[in-house]
Structure 1
Amino acid sequence: MNKIKLEKKHWFLIGRLLMIVGILIPLYAFLSITINDLKKANEYEEYIEKEAKLSHEEKQRLEKKIKRYNKSVKDLDAGAVDPFTGNDFKARYNIEGEDKEAFSYIRIPKIDVTLPVYLGASYKHLAMGAAHVDGTNLPVGGKGTRSVIAGHRGFYKDTMFLNLHELEKGDEIIIRRGTETLIYKVTDSEVINPYDWDKLDPIEKEDILTLLTCDPIRPPSPYRLIVNAKRYEPPKKEGIENEVVKIESTPVKREVKTVNTWIYVGTVLLSILFLYVLVSTVVKYGKMKRKEEE
């Protein structure tokens, strides 16, 4: 009889442990996304404040290195490297903090994206935010340049470029680097093969920003979705900052809001379920122990 009770208790604990693990896996992902979403506004402001404190000399040194890198892209014509092929390619930009610090920030109000942009689309950087694809111009603007910024189609702690397909012609993209602000407007999007890099070549006299992610959303994702945008300069009377304020007040697309809402609701429901299963397990196990002692 005692042996049967012991086996019953063991199977009860194994079953409850499996339930708890099954709840914790999605809860961890949902909770990470929710916390990251709450933190991103503060992290963006901290980045802006930090960049504003750079000395004139530091800014000049950085600008020289940026010009040197962009010149090397033009002179070498080496082309871009696909960041999603599994090869953890490491680029060398010779820019301070390139491995750990954000070079700039990208904001896309319509799909609720605020992400740091790191130099080099390595596995590490793509897990931290968006990343500049080596072999293309740095995102600093300029005629005859094209900067390519890559991002995952969602990750365990952020939705990232999950909703990139929702962008339409005319939607705005903001690049912030220190005190510099660049505005781009979407012109078109296209699904390409991973090695169709001629699609990412600069166009003479055009200032282009291209966003790159995997396609389709559900793996395997053998193709690449690219969204192209051209530089937009607002009329001088409006000013760049007034235009940015207007863009940042753009309502988030309904489909994107729905995804975000389900993530928040899922976080709450899974948290409640986890606590319920945990507490009920402790209570029931206590009862089983007391019955054994009687």
Structure 2
Amino acid sequence: MLLYPTVSDYWNSHYQSEAVATYSEKLLDISKEEKQKILENVSAYNNMLEKGTIPNLNIDSVALKKYDSILNITDTGIMGYVEIPKLQTTLPIYHGTDDAVLQVAVGHLAGTSLPIGGQGSHAAISGHRGLPSAKLFSDSDQLVIGDTFMIQVLDNTLTYEIDKIITVTPDDVSPLMIDPNEYFVTLVTCTPYGVNSHRLLVRGHRIENQSK
């Protein structure tokens, strides 16, 4: 039993790497024109979301079906991946935050903007902390203002610099509001570690990609 967390974490890390690799390989089969069409559809979806209001996370079944079909190029639900250099973490991002997703990866919070980096967008990416079977966002409390993370969607690498870190109650989604003039992504996880009574929100604004 003592080996369970180590073996499970290894398996999930392998799963995450395979999911990212499969996504990257699938991109090779999609033409430039097809990718542009996908981005246009995503932009249209994001433009339908209300700006300056608290996001509605309880979307109906019709809207959910449409949401699930966008950016789903592998038909597995993966829409891209997030890389956090400071934490040496790369995680696939899936549609939605069902428990099956959050046990092995991170999920995009339906009702928030899809993460393509357009002006007037605010995407939220949710992941667990403290799972014995997967590291995921367990070390997110090590992040500080000024750190960066990257979102990879299609062929686009979008870099975000952390500018705000706050703790809220689980029902407070007001910090995920869309500013029509900004490009935000917020990483969401449970806090305090092992208690999980609140949510830790780590927000970044888009900046120029940095040379490696």
Interval of TM-score (by shorter of Structure 1 and Structure 2): 0.7 to 0.9
CA gap of 1:78–1:70, structure 2 versus 1, over 3 A, is same
Residues 230 and 156 (structure 1 numbering): CA distance in 2 closer, same or farther, change over 3 Å?
same
Contact 1:98 1:119 in 2 (8 A): no
1:222 to 179, 197, 205: 197
- 1:99-110 residue pairs with structure 2 within 5 A? 100-110=76-86
Letter matched to residue 231 of structure 1: R
Shift of 1:133: 0.6
Aligned alpha-carbon RMSD (Å): 2.5
Deviation at 1:217, TM superposition (A): 1.1
Matched residues, percent identical? Answer: 31
- Report the CA distance between 1:71 and its aligned residue: 2.1
What secondary structure, in the 3-state scheme, does the structure 2 residue paired with 1:228 have? strand
What is aligned with 1:133?
A: 109
Mapping of residues 252-267 of structure 1, within 5 Å: none
Superposed displacement of residue 99, structure 1? 6.8
What is the DSSP-based 3-state SS (H/G/I as helix, E as strand, rest coil) of the residue aligned with 1:103? strand
| TM-score, L = length of structure 2 | 0.85
Q: Distance in 2 between matches of 1:99 and 1:43?
A: 12
The answer to which structure has the higher strand fraction is: 2
Asked whether 1:32 is paired with 2:32, we answer no
Deviation at 1:187, TM superposition (A): 0.9
1:78, distance to aligned residue in structure 2 (A) = 6.9
Write out the 4+ residue segments of structure 1 that deviate beyond 6 Å after TM superposition. Answer: none
Higher helix share: 1
Change in Cα spacing, 1:122 to 1:38, as seen in structure 2 (3 Å) is closer
Tell me: CA distance 1:45–1:114, structure 2 relative to 1, closer, same or farther (3 Å). Answer: same
1:102 alignment partner AA: I
Counterpart-to-counterpart distance in 1, 2:116 and 2:102: 20
Larger Rg belongs to: 1
Segments of 5+ residues of structure 2 without an aligned counterpart are none
Unaligned runs of 5+ in 1: 1-22, 83-89, 235-239, 247-294
1:148/1:209 contact within 8 Å kept: yes
Larger displacement relative to structure 2 (51-60 or 205-214)? 51-60
